[in-house]
Amino acid sequence: MSKQILILPGDGIGPEIMAEAVKVLQLANDKYSLGFELSFDELGGAAVDKYGVPLADETLARARAADAILLGAVGGPKWDKIDPALRPERGLLKIRSQLGLFANLRPAILYPQLADASSLKPEVVAGLDILIVRELTGGIYFGQPRESKVLESGERMAYDTLPYSESEIRRIAQVGFAMARVRGKKLCSVDKANVLASSQLWRAVVEEVAKDYPDVELSHMYVDNAAMQLVRAPKQFDVMVTDNMFGDILSDEASMLTGSIGMLPSASLDANNKGMYEPCHGSAPDIAGLGIANPLATILSVSMMLRYSFSQVAAADAIELAVSKVLDQGLRTGDISSPGTTKVGTAAMGDAVVEALRSL
């Protein structure tokens, strides 16, 4: 039976990087007889333009019916001034929430070939392999009430709410422990329990879940310290589990350890491992249409999709090996280029990965 994959290229550089990822996916589909059928739709600003909303009901229905979703990126200046409820980002948040994709896995792995591209000293990042497990459907991103208003005094004020229930914390903690168990057996839970009530509950629940994973070493860290430790001594971390907003921030920070945010894939999974896969970077409107964006984060997201949603380990490994071979050849997009390497554009990078995969 064929597997349905819904492709949502999105905005900005989304369509460019997705075109390369689709080439790689199609080759993997043929080479490993994966039986995938691809279909395409819009999300974000592109959906606002086509359907009048950032996530159309019919797109959501297609996403529900699909076996996995591959997403580019959303957002851009063209839609910055529209009604906040119609912002492209709302489409992304809605699809995450409606599909129950609460577990966001963001691996930060340094390809040895890119040690010079990191802004940190090579010895600080050499061999880096961190997995950030970010809670994705709760916390301050979705908390109610949230409001922007004008007080009687005429002063404007706004607030958001940061709620977490026990069950939301428990299920993401379980993912963190399960991931740590099959990796380096170390889990660092990141919170702000010295200030926030939601973090105090977070810490208590993580402690309870830890009892089921005695083989995993648990530590806790405040988010400000974690941000500092990530650039001071990042190799102390194996798996980090944290809330929605802290995970958003720390994953951007961790990406720079690997040379560029253009290298970071992600998986967002529901309770049954159905997933949406996307690069961690945004739509980069400043370079959209120039053909210079790095497609590797999206290509590596394809590999995560094969691994997590379809258990196609050989095909997933092959894509990662193909990326590594291309880096060995010295090919680099602008964001990861360094002296002595060959600068290439988006399509040339994608083609090189396709060729490397073909010849494996």
Among 17, 47, 92, 316, binds ligand IPM (CB under 6 A): 92
**What residues does 132 pair with on adjacent strands?**
106, 240
| SS3 state of residue 267 | strand
Task: Tell me the two tokens of residue 76.
Answer: 């851009």
Distance in Å from the first CA to the final CA of the chain = 27
Q: Which of 11, 23, 111, 192 is catalytic?
A: 192
343 is catalytic: no
Instruction: Decide if 35 contacts 244 (C-beta within 8 A).
Output: no
Specify the stretch interacting with Mg ion by CB under 5 A; choose among 88-96, 147-155, 207-215, 243-251.
243-251
135 scored as a contact of Mg ion (CB under 5 A): no
Q: Which of 11, 238, 248, 335 is catalytic?
A: 248
111 is catalytic: no
- Annotate each residue in 244-283 with x if it binds ligand IPM (CB under 6 A) or - if it does not, as one string: ----x-------------------------------x-x-
Q: Is 304 exposed, middle or buried (0-12, 13-18, 19+ CB in 10 A)?
A: buried
Q: Is 89 exposed, middle or buried (0-12, 13-18, 19+ CB in 10 A)?
A: middle
243 scored as a contact of Mg ion (CB under 5 A): no
Specify the stretch interacting with Mg ion by CB under 5 A; choose among 104-112, 146-154, 167-175, 248-256.
248-256
Among 248, 278, 320, 335, binds Mg ion (CB under 5 A): 248
43 scored as a contact of ligand IPM (CB under 6 A): no
Write the secondary structure of 234-256 as one string of H (helix), E (strand) and C (coil).
HHHCCEEEECHHHHHHHHHHHHH
| SS3 state of residue 167 | helix
User: For residues 142 and 213, which CB has a smaller minimum distance to Mg ion in the complex?
Assistant: 142
11 is catalytic: no
User: For residues 43 and 352, which CB has a smaller minimum distance to Mg ion in the complex?
Assistant: 43
Cα-flanking dihedrals φ and ψ of residue 357, to 5°?
Answer: -70, -40
Q: CA Rg, the chain, in Å?
A: 20
Q: Binding residues for ligand IPM, per CB under 6 A?
A: 75, 89, 92, 248, 280, 282
Which positions are catalytic? 141, 192, 224, 248, 252
